[in-house]
A = this chain, B = another copy of it.
Amino acid sequence: MSPRGRPRAFDRDRALRVAMELFWEHGYEGVSMSDLTGAIGISAPSLYSAFGCKEALFREAVALYNAPERAPVARAIREQPTARQMIEAMLRTCADSITDPEAPQGCLVVLGATNCTNDDVREFLAGCRNADVDAIRERLDRAVAEGDLPATADTAGMATFYMTVQNGLSIQARDGRSREELHAVIDRAMLAWDAML
């Protein structure tokens, strides 16, 4: 039951993956439609007919980047049994991702639209980051409810602190810090855990 007209001659999923890698490396406005069509190997009308416009393509690329199996926050919440392990796993997964020698350095969500002229795109990524803070705080609240954390724990403050560290890791990765150096930063961030409870 293939569609009616002429079949698409390129792999849409592969095109999206290429677009994600370009946006990851250069940010939303650092990648032109000409860069995209060149890297994918198709012409502009093909790209527009498959994805709509540049902004829609970017949002799909971010969704692929944030897929549940690879997003550090979602994975850590799903896989780790305690609040402390969840926070540390999130940071270490993130550090490994943003220093992967096969991928761009730094996080697409953190760095992809920091100074974007397109307000919608900028606020979209800010919303992604704020959603991560909220998800972390909710996980910590659950830990309080389960007795994993004391009732006096400032879960919002803790979530903001570790999100700040995670954001800073992306800048440091872009500035050339190695994977080992970033994990040493995480060691130090985790030293504060017991003291802030």
Contact = CB atoms under 8 A, between A and B. Distances in A.
Interface of A: 26-30, 110-117, 126, 129-130, 154, 157-158, 160-161, 163-169, 171-172, 174-177, 181, 184-185, 188-189, 191-192, 195-196
B191 A30 contact: no
Contacts of A114: 27, 111, 114-115, 171, 174
Contact of A184 (B29, B130, B160, B191): B160
Contacts of A117: 26, 30
Contact of A168 (B115, B168, B191): B168
A38 B189 CA distance: 45
A158 B191 CA distance: 12
Contacts of A113: 115
